[in-house]
């Protein structure tokens, strides 16, 4: 590794640590609780949760839908680019859509959110743009902003993706606790793999 590469990498890691610490310190627990309550209330009325985003936030959305589903909140990945071509039918009135966009100004997502709102969905946004279009169109906004992505270009999403994932992981913890998820229930959804086997063995030890 060259001296320049080493310096750039060290700068990136230092920036990531700084941005993540700043985000955690500024995180609004009140807003997180509001997002949790929106989801729990929607579920109590038969509503469902969908997660969407354009580009790299779309990959975050896929992960978050899986995480929520595995921890007691059934959630569905919604392909934002397909929404205005029929996939909006996946979302029923009263459902909640978690929409992820760093800028909150992505044109494709604007069309998607506009369509979903017209169809009766509630919107929880995850964005770095506090005054963005997406934030203003949302029932609840989870801020996930960074000053610097961490590399010399400051364009490819790196730090912003980390904080988007973190705020939604925090939401998943609140939902999990709110529903009182037990280890026994968790194992039912993870019967295979090392994770499920580890929890199952732990439970066996407690039963003895």
The series of mean pLDDT values per 10 residues for the chain, 208 residues long, is: 91 96 96 98 97 96 96 95 87 97 94 95 96 97 96 94 98 94 70 63 58
Domain with 79 in it: 3-181
Classify residue 200: in a domain, yes or no: no
Classify residue 186: in a domain, yes or no: no
Sign for the pseudo-dihedral over CA of 41, 104, 18, 162? positive
At residue 122, the pLDDT reads 98
How many domains in the chain? Answer: 1
Predicted model pTM: 0.91
Classify residue 119: in a domain, yes or no: yes
Classify residue 201: in a domain, yes or no: no
d(CA 151, CA 165): 19
| CATH number of the domain enclosing 18 | 3.40.50.10490
- Nearest CA-CA partner of 77 in 106, 48, 103, 101: 48
d(CA 95, CA 98): 10
Classify residue 135: in a domain, yes or no: yes
- Nearest CA-CA partner of 14 in 171, 159, 142: 159
Classify residue 196: in a domain, yes or no: no
pLDDT digits (tens, 9 = 90+) for 24-72: 999 999 999 999 999 999 999 999 999 999 999 999 999 999 999 999 9
d(CA 46, CA 19): 38
Classify residue 193: in a domain, yes or no: no
Classify residue 198: in a domain, yes or no: no
């Amino acid at each position: 590794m060259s001296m320049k590469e080493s310096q750039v990498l060290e700068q990136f890691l230092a920036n990531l640590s700084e941005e993540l610490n700043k985000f955690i310190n500024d995180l609004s627990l009140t807003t997180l609780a509001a997002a949790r309550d929106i989801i729990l209330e929607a579920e109590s009325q038969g509503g469902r949760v969908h997660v969407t985003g354009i580009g790299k936030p779309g990959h975050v959305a896929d992960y978050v839908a899986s995480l929520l589903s595995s921890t007691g909140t059934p959630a569905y990945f919604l392909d934002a680019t397909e929404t205005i071509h029929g996939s909006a039918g996946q979302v029923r009135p009263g459902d909640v859509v978690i929409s992820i966009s760093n800028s909150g100004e992505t044109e494709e997502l604007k069309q998607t959110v506009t369509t979903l709102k017209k169809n009766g969905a509630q919107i929880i946004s995850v964005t770095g743009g506090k005054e963005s279009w997406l934030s203003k169109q949302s029932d609840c906004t989870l801020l996930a902003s960074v000053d610097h992505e961490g590399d010399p270009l400051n364009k490819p999403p790196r730090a912003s993706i980390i904080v988007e994932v973190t705020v939604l992981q925090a939401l998943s913890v609140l939902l999990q606790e709110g529903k009182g998820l037990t280890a026994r229930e968790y194992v039912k959804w993870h019967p295979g793999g090392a994770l499920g086997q580890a929890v199952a063995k732990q439970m066996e030890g407690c039963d003895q």
